[in-house]
Amino acid sequence: MQKILIANRGEIALRIIKTCQEMGIETVAIYSEADKDMPFVKAATKAVCVGEPPVNKSYLQSDKILEIAKSEKVDAIHPGYGFLSENAAFAQQAINEGIIFIGPKPETIELMGDKIASRHTMEKAGIPVVPGSSVGLKTIEEACGFAEAIGYPVMLKASGGGGGIGMVFCENEQALVKFYTSTKSRALAYFGSDKVFIEKYIADARHIEVQVFGDNHGNIVHLFERDCSIQRRHQKVVEESPSPFLSDSVRNKMYETAVKAAHAVDYTNAGTIEFIVDENENFYFLEMNTRLQVEHPVTEMITSLDLVKWQILVAQGKRLPLLQNEISSSGNAIEFRLYAEDPVRFLPSPGKITTLHWNQKEGVRIDSGYEEGGTVTPFYDPMIAKCIFQGETRKEALELAKSFFKEMKIEGIKTNAPLFLNILANDDFQNGSYTTSFLTKNLVK
């Protein structure tokens, strides 16, 4: 593999470029007109403009991206996360053109991207799933009948949803009736399908995911877990490993279940099995992300492995670099997603970054797509950086994070750093006794 096109932008594009440079692989970056001065454009071996700023005219232009890939004679495409990373049709188009898609097989992406189909597949494999419907609900009467059978509250979900989109909490039948039609319409608009289903809402839950990796030779391993329970509107804000909540026995059972789930779909490349865990440590399959996760640096910090390098090696047809008994974890790592965001109203805060000082030190990793003088535009996700901290103990990692956010300096835009300091000062968070409702109950109304 001599040349890879990166079908993404910002920090993940830079992250992929870094590994490609270390492996001696040339890179082709695509960029929108709004991103022409971004660091990832300068870092790539070559950069090609893909279109106007809106995503549907640039980073979602699959045909245009494939045209660029062919004209640049690339060997492979790395989709990063978001955009086209879980688009089975795009993956298949690339393969049809003789270009390697750095990710799982298109049929796996399609299967696991449909939440109803993935629930059904996991049930057949003996994987515990959240109580709910494993078929699409056709009428409001059917939805109400099902919800009454499993008991309120429930979550009404779009089968093709993701990233918190297409999920509605319904405390009672009145709420379900109110949101049913609008959720179906939203699902159709965002995901091209109006299929919806219902799951039992698990109160005081933890959201814990297991990183898995498979090759084309039947080998699948886990790379431990990440606790992603600090969320706002179903969007992850903080992720850490190991989870401060899980007992070792349940942790190991979760690893076994994640690998079993991956085998059930003959999984290859990087993927994540996501579980919802109740207060008694009963865990249930929630979904599978068939791509590299935003929070993959947490795993890289505790394992000292390069997951992007693993992705490329597997895509080349090679075996996994390590067997399960050769993979170990050390210390604690925690990641905070730093956004250009008003910390009070929680609205995007685009603008020019006039000052950017990270206060870099040992144990701190910053994956950022911006530099001083750069502009956060309103066209894309306003994440400025992922700030990851590692210590021998959880307490060390948290203290490192606290000093970092107190000392870092970003001017010209607002950020959600004040929220992080509030989280770090909270006793429940310090004790590791938090759930997915932590922000709602403590800091964000």
- Contact predicate 254/268, CB 8 Å: no
- Contact predicate 113/86, CB 8 Å: yes
d(CA 410, CA 220): 42
Those residues whose C-beta lies under 8 Å from the C-beta of residue 24, and which sit 6 or more positions away, are: none
Using CB atoms within 10 Å of the CB of residue 163, give its burial: 0 to 12 exposed, 13 to 18 middle, 19+ buried: middle
291 an active-site residue? yes
Using CB atoms within 10 Å of the CB of residue 21, give its burial: 0 to 12 exposed, 13 to 18 middle, 19+ buried: middle
* Phi/psi of residue 17, nearest 5 degrees: -60, -40
d(CA 277, CA 283): 4
Give me the residue label for tokens 């390098």. 309
d(CA 109, CA 183): 23
Which one is catalytic: 291, 337, 345, 365? 291
Residue 349 is classified by DSSP as: -
Provide the annotated active-site residues: 291
